[in-house]
Amino acid sequence: MNWMRPWALALCLSTLGWSAAPAADDPLAATPQDRQWLLPAVPPHPDDNAPTAARVELGKMLFFDARLSSERNLSCAGCHSPLYGWSDGLGTAKGFRSKVLGRASPTIVNSGYNTIQMWDGRRATLEHQAMGPMESMDEMAMNLDALFAWLAVNPGYKAAFAAAYPGEAIDKTTTSKAIAAFERTVVSSDSPFDRWLRGDRQAMTAQQVKGFRLFADPAKGNCAGCHQAPNFTDNGFHNIGLTSYGQANPDVGRFAIKPVPSLKGAFKTPTLRDVALTAPYFHDGSAATLMDVVAHYNRGGEVRTNLSASVKPLSLSNGEMRDIVAFMEALTTPARPFTLPTLPAN
Partner 1 sequence: MQFHPQPAIGSLVVAAACLFTGLPAGAAEHVLAQKGKAFSVKKLQVKVGDTVKFVNEDPFAHNVFSLSDAKSFDLGSFGQGGSKTVTLDKPGTVEVECAVHPDMRMVIEVGK
The residues assigned a catalytic role are: 139
Q: Does 119 bind partner 1 (CB under 8 A)?
A: no
**Where in the chain does DSSP place strands (E)?**
237-238, 267-268
Angle at 285 between CA 282 and CA 290, to 5 degrees: 60
Smallest separation (angstroms) from partner 1 to the CB of 235? 6
Q: Does 222 bind partner 1 (CB under 8 A)?
A: yes
DSSP state of 281: B
Smallest separation (angstroms) from partner 1 to the CB of 332? 26
Smallest separation (angstroms) from partner 1 to the CB of 240? 11
Alpha carbon of 139 to those of 60, 68, 81, 119: distances in Å?
Answer: 19, 11, 15, 16
Report the amino acid identity of residue 292: D
Phi, psi of 267, deg, nearest 5 = -130, 160
Smallest separation (angstroms) from partner 1 to the CB of 3? 39
Query: In this structure, are residues 170 and 148 in contact, taking their beta carbons and an 8 Å threshold?
Result: yes
| Member of 78, 85, 112, 121 binding partner 1 (CB under 8 A) | 121
DSSP 3-state of 287:
strand
Question: Per-residue contact track with partner 1, 68 to 107, x per CB under 8 A?
Answer: ----------------------------------------
**Which of the ranges 70-78, 147-155, 221-229, 293-301 carries the binding residues for partner 1, by CB under 8 A?**
221-229
DSSP state of 32: G
Smallest separation (angstroms) from partner 1 to the CB of 261? 6
Q: Does 6 bind partner 1 (CB under 8 A)?
A: no
Contacts of partner 1 in 291-330 (CB under 8 A): 308-310
Contacts of partner 1 in 18-47 (CB under 8 A): none
Q: Does 205 bind partner 1 (CB under 8 A)?
A: no
The C-alpha atoms of residue 53 and residue 42 are separated, in whole angstroms, by 14
| Member of 6, 218, 334, 337 binding partner 1 (CB under 8 A) | 218
End-to-end CA distance of the chain: 68
DSSP state of 267: E
**Which of the ranges 59-67, 125-133, 236-244, 271-279 carries the binding residues for partner 1, by CB under 8 A?**
236-244
The C-alpha atoms of residue 147 and residue 296 are separated, in whole angstroms, by 44
| Member of 73, 115, 289, 342 binding partner 1 (CB under 8 A) | 115
Which H or E element spans position 174? Answer: helix 172-183
What residues make contact with partner 1 under the rule CB under 8 A?
Answer: 115-116, 121, 218, 222, 225-226, 228, 234-238, 254, 258, 260-263, 266, 308-310
